[in-house]
Amino acid sequence: MSALRQILAFSGIVGFGYLLMKTTVPTEEELYNKLSPELKKEYHRVKKARLEKEQQMKMEEGTNSDTSQKAD
């Protein structure tokens, strides 16, 4: 019976922690809506630059894999 009580206690603690996290941590949308207009502009600028860099890296990987396949 002791093991059952420990499992229930552990489950209660984990459940309480999860509930606490869900109620206190803002969603990405809530966080974005609280940003000032300047920070929103900065967010979009950084996001656009990151996406462009990722796209460029994917293109480079594609050309590198094409070159390595031709070499084989």
Alpha-carbon distance 19 to 25, whole Å? Answer: 10
Q: Is the confidence at residue 68, as pLDDT, over 70?
A: no
Count CA atoms within 13 Å of residue 71 on its CB side: 6
The 3-state DSSP class for residue 35 equals: coil
Domain boundaries, the chain: 1-27, 35-72
Structure-model confidence comparison of residues 42 and 66, the more confident one: 42
6-15, 35-44, 60-69: least confident range: 60-69
Q: Is the confidence at residue 72, as pLDDT, over 80?
A: no
What confidence tens digit (pLDDT) does each residue in 29-51 have? 999 999 999 999 999 999 999 99
DSSP code for 27: P
Alpha-carbon distance 10 to 66, whole Å? Answer: 53
Q: Is the alpha carbon torsion for 21, 23, 29, 33 positive or negative?
A: negative
